[in-house]
């Protein structure tokens, strides 16, 4: 089994390696203009220079801080609204319709209004990430609460669980799978929104680094920024999946065949 998995992993590397080799060959032969797209060797050299100088780490730390603050606010707001709307019919009538309307608005279309409300400082960047991440958390958590098996609720009622105990022992565990699905969407959306948010009067951050590189035609720096964002997305998704596996260890699932 281990040998077959190793062979499959090696096969999956063939495509990316071939693309990189063709890309490098085109750059070395002069078929690819560096102003259009730098070669992999140039990009690797640029990445090494940015890492050695500490410039990339400095911008990365700023981006991580913005994403973390925005995600924390968005997750808290989305979870709170989902719990209230999921547990109370009146709240559901008041909240869910508004959330459904707001989620249909493209988050990037709200940028001009967000700038008018929060200015062009750090606040608007965090707010945009928070707004974008609250919706997937709310939608998936709310759906999970509303999709709870009513037999569990009936059983809890039959043993005379209090309202608090019902929420703690039945509702919250039942909503966790939906919450984690929403969280996986949210962490990805956070980085997508941050790319645009960091182009709003920013003086630091990976998005700012890419914007500055665009003005000077430095495609190597732009690609380094894209690789960083991609790596952040994959890493954050992997961390969420790890937390999900540990939190839902009690819940058996289909592992595939």
Residue 30 has a pLDDT of 78
Catalogue all structural domains in the chain, each as residue range(s) with its CATH number: 43-247 (1.10.3720.10)
Q: Are 63 and 198 in contact (CB under 8 A)?
A: yes
Angle (CA) 103 105 108, round 5°: 115
Residue 256 has a pLDDT of 39
| Alpha-carbon separation of residue 145 from 153, 224, 232, 239, 246 (angstroms) | 11, 41, 30, 24, 20
Measured in degrees and rounded to the nearest 5, phi and psi for residue 69 equal -65, -45
Angle between helices 89-103 and 122-146 (to 10 degrees): 130
- Tokens of residue 113, six digits: 């209004």
Kindly tell me the number of DSSP H helices and DSSP E strands found in the chain: 11, 0
**Measured on CA atoms in the order 166, 167, 169, 174, is the torsion positive or negative?**
positive
Three-state secondary structure of 164-192: HHHHHHHHHHHHHHHHHHHHHHHHHHHHH
Per-residue tens of pLDDT for the chain, all 257 residues:
456 777 777 777 787 788 888 888 887 887 777 777 888 888 888 899 999 998 889 989 999 999 999 999 999 999 999 988 888 888 888 888 888 888 888 887 888 888 888 888 888 889 999 999 999 999 999 888 887 767 766 666 666 666 676 667 777 777 888 899 999 999 989 988 888 888 777 788 888 888 888 888 888 898 998 889 888 888 888 888 888 888 877 666 534 34
- Tokens of residue 185, six digits: 């969407």
Residue 122 has a pLDDT of 83
Q: Measuring CA to CA, which residue among 103, 248, 77, 102 is closest to residue 175?
A: 248
Measured in degrees and rounded to the nearest 5, phi and psi for residue 145 equal -65, -45
pTM of this prediction? 0.80
Residue 161 has a pLDDT of 65
């Amino acid at each position: 089994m281990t040998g077959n998995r190793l062979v499959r992993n090696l096969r999956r590397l063939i495509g990316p390696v071939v693309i990189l080799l063709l890309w490098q060959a085109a750059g070395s032969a002069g078929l690819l203009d560096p102003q259009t797209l730098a070669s992999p060797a140039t990009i690797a050299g640029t990445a090494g220079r940015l890492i050695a100088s500490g410039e990339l780490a400095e911008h990365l730390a700023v981006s991580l801080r913005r994403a973390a603050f925005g995600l924390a606010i968005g997750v808290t707001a989305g979870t709170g609204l989902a719990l209230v709307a999921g547990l109370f019919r009146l709240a559901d009538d008041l909240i869910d319709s508004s959330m459904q309307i707001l989620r249909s608005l493209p988050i990037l279309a709200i940028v001009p209004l967000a700038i008018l409300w929060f200015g062009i400082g750090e606040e608007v960047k965090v707010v945009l990430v928070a707004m974008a991440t609250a919706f997937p958390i709310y939608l998936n958590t709310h759906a999970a609460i509303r999709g709870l098996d009513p037999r569990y609720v009936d059983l809890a009622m039959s043993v005379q669980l209090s309202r608090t105990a019902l929420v703690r022992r039945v509702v919250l565990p039942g909503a966790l799978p939906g919450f984690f699905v929403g969280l996986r969407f949210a962490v990805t959306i956070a980085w997508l929104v941050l790319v645009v948010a960091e182009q709003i009067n920013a003086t630091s951050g990976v998005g700012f680094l890419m914007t500055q590189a665009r003005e000077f035609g430095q495609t190597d720096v732009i690609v380094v920024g894209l690789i960083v964002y991609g790596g952040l997305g994959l890493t954050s998704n992997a961390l969420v999946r790890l937390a999900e596996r540990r939190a839902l260890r009690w819940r058996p699932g289909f592992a595939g065949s």
